[in-house]
Amino acid sequence: MKFQHHLPAPALRRDLEIFTYTTESGEEKLYLQCSKGYGQAVNLPIYITSIIELLDGKSTIDEITNHYNLSAATSINSYSLAHFLSDLDEMCLLESETFYTAKKIIDEFRASTVREAICAGNAYPDSPEELSAFLTSIMNLSEPHQIPANGIIAPHIDLRLGGSVYAAAYQAISTSDADLFVIFATSHYANYDLIIPTNKDFQTPLGLVKTDRELLDTIRKELPFEVTMDDIAHRLEHSIELELVFLQHCFPERNFTILPLLVTSFESFISAGILPSQNEKVAQITDAIRKVVEQSGRKAVYISSGDLAHIGRKFGDSYDAENMLETLASVDSELLEQLQACNQDGFYSQIAAAQDKWKICGLPPNYMMLETMQPQEGKYLAYEQWNESERQSAVSFGAVAYY
């Protein structure tokens, strides 16, 4: 939003959590966050404190600028302040129309019992007929397995880009008689708990996929700690939705349910130099899910929705991805070997040793799935790279089946 310099600037939201901290280098920083999930968190230079203290909803940008410059060591101008406020506004940290619009959308999502499709018309067709034909054409790229897998790693890249790998993954379970699918998926947009379930059902152009609320409740009761009830992370997340259309296509007449579980970053484990399984919470979650699923008597298949590397300019690297594709294929081959060997610790350790320089978004869901289902055998199925040359970037992804 563009703010008029002669009109009062919006106030800083009064419900934000604001505190200062000192970095490892000794620099003092200001941190703003919204624990209610309506806005983004942001780190700011400490001198910004005196500016946000002036955001009372009554002062104009010109007045704030003049007041700040009376005592500041380095002056600012009204235009730079207006730009800064626009950034805060986009992050929904001001008492503005932007914030109230976002709050309304988020509150409606939280109150709903259904998570609506967000990828329809983009990553896949929004017409049921067109989507069915599209998925058929993808599935025809591979052959069904005579002995269905008990679990798969599948990509969550745009369906238009990863067809052959999706086909390899879903043909591995297309003859399964499963009535429950436990889905571990990458959480791209939120990191407020280790796992983020949702009780919502999922709507796609092919119909409604029901979440097994009873099993989720049982898992929650099994755990000695509370798992977040805030499922806002699912609102814009694509990693579960893209798996569901394949399940609906493969089992159109089956009354199956799902356990939709987003898994957040493993950065803290990498920084601490530990295996995720050495974290008590990881062990308790995977043990609880395994126990509840086994005791339910349901015929379950596990799915991990996770891609491999993300490299190049688009993902913050200082190089063009095309020059690194051969190297990337070699690195990915080693990772896929670990996954095929059902060695989640080896998979994690290889990524951690490189400080996740390749940005493997499938690390958390792949690890949690393997730790939970504890398969006896893995089978490599497929691998591809998508080279987005116009943006000097690339994504890699693969498929593995488990028995």
CATH number of domain containing 283: 3.40.830.10
- Same structural domain for residues 197 and 344? yes
**What are the pLDDT digits (tens) for 154-182?**
999 999 999 999 999 999 999 999 999 99
pLDDT of 235-287, one tens digit each? 999 999 999 999 999 999 999 999 999 999 999 999 999 999 999 999 999 99
> Within this chain, do residues 61 and 166 fall inside the same structural domain, yes or no?
no
With 70 as the cut, is the pLDDT of residue 1 above it?
A: no
Residues 383, 204 contacting (CB under 8 angstroms): no
User: Do 167 and 80 share a structural domain?
Assistant: no
Which SS3 state, helix, strand or coil, does residue 196 take?
A: strand
**Hey, what long-range contacts does 323-332 have (CB within 8 A, 24 or more apart)?**
324/394, 325/385, 325/387, 325/394, 328/358, 328/385, 328/394, 328/396, 329/383, 329/385, 329/396, 331/358, 332/308, 332/383, 332/396, 332/398
Following DSSP, what letter does each residue of 52-82 receive, concatenated?
A: HTT-SSSSBHHHHHHHHHTT-SS---HHHHH
Q: Which domain holds residue 326?
A: 122-402
Mean pLDDT across 83-97: 95
Same domain, yes or no: 324 and 193 = yes
pLDDT digits (tens, 9 = 90+) for 302-316: 999 999 999 999 999
Task: Give me the mean pLDDT over the 20-41 stretch.
Answer: 90
Percent of the chain with pLDDT over 70: 100
Domain boundary pick from 42, 73, 108: 108
In this structure, are 242 and 311 located in the same domain?
Answer: yes
Q: Is a pLDDT exceeding 80 seen at residue 45?
A: yes
The residues near 241 (Cβ < 8 Å, ≥ 6 apart) are 117, 118, 119, 202, 204
Boundary residue ending a domain (85, 108, 131) = 108
Chain position carrying tokens 């983020």 = 196
Higher-pLDDT residue of 35 and 133 is 133
Same domain for 153 and 95: no
pTM above 0.85, yes or no: yes
In the chain, the number of structural domains is 2
- Cβ atoms of 306 and 365 within 8 Å: the answer is yes
- Percent of residues, the chain, with pLDDT higher than 90: 94
Position 359 in a domain: yes
pLDDT at 214: 98
Q: With beta carbons less than 8 A apart as the criterion, state whether 227 and 259 touch.
A: no
CA 360 from centre of chain: 12
The whole-angstrom separation of Cα 109 and Cα 202 is: 12
Q: Are residues 353 and 244 in the same domain?
A: yes
Q: Is the pLDDT of residue 40 over 70?
A: yes
Sheet arrangement for strand 17-22 = 17-22, 28-33, 42-45
Vertex 176: Cα angle to 174 and 177 (nearest 5)? 135
Q: What is the mean pLDDT of residues 297-305?
A: 97
Do 134 and 92 lie in one domain? The reply is no
Tell me, what's the pLDDT at 111? 96
Q: Which residues, 6+ apart, have CB-to-CB distance to 85 below 8 Å?
A: 3, 9, 10, 55, 61, 94
Least confident window among 4-8, 75-79, 141-145, 197-201: 4-8
Average the pLDDT over 86-101 and give the result: 96
**Is the domain of 184 the same as that of 66?**
no
Residue 18 φ then ψ, to 5°: -130, 125
Interval 98-152: pLDDT, tens: 999 999 999 999 999 999 999 999 999 999 999 999 999 999 999 999 999 999 9
Cα–Cα distance measured from residue 220 to residue 218, given in angstroms and rounded to the nearest whole number:
5
Kindly report, residue by residue over 249-263, the tens digit of the pLDDT. Answer: 999 999 999 999 999
| Cβ–Cβ < 8 Å for 37, 230 | yes
Give which of 400, 352, 354, 360 is closest to 379, Cα–Cα.
Answer: 400
Q: Which of 38, 73, 108 is the last residue of a domain?
A: 108
pLDDT value at residue 178: 98
pLDDT of residue 4: 79
Same-domain status, 347 and 370: yes
**Which amino acid type is present at position 350?**
Q
Calculate ∠ Cα 114-120-126, nearest 5°: 110
Q: Would you say residue 10 lies in a domain? A: no
Q: Which residue carries 């009109």 as its tokens? A: 7
Whether 61 contacts 130, CB under 8 Å: no
What residues does 152 pair with on adjacent strands? Answer: 303, 401
Inside any domain, residue 37: yes
* Phi, psi torsion values for 195, nearest 5 degrees: -125, 150
- Does residue 1 fall inside a structural domain? no
- Evaluate whether residue 12 is within a structural domain: no
- How many whole angstroms separate alpha carbon 296 and alpha carbon 112? 27
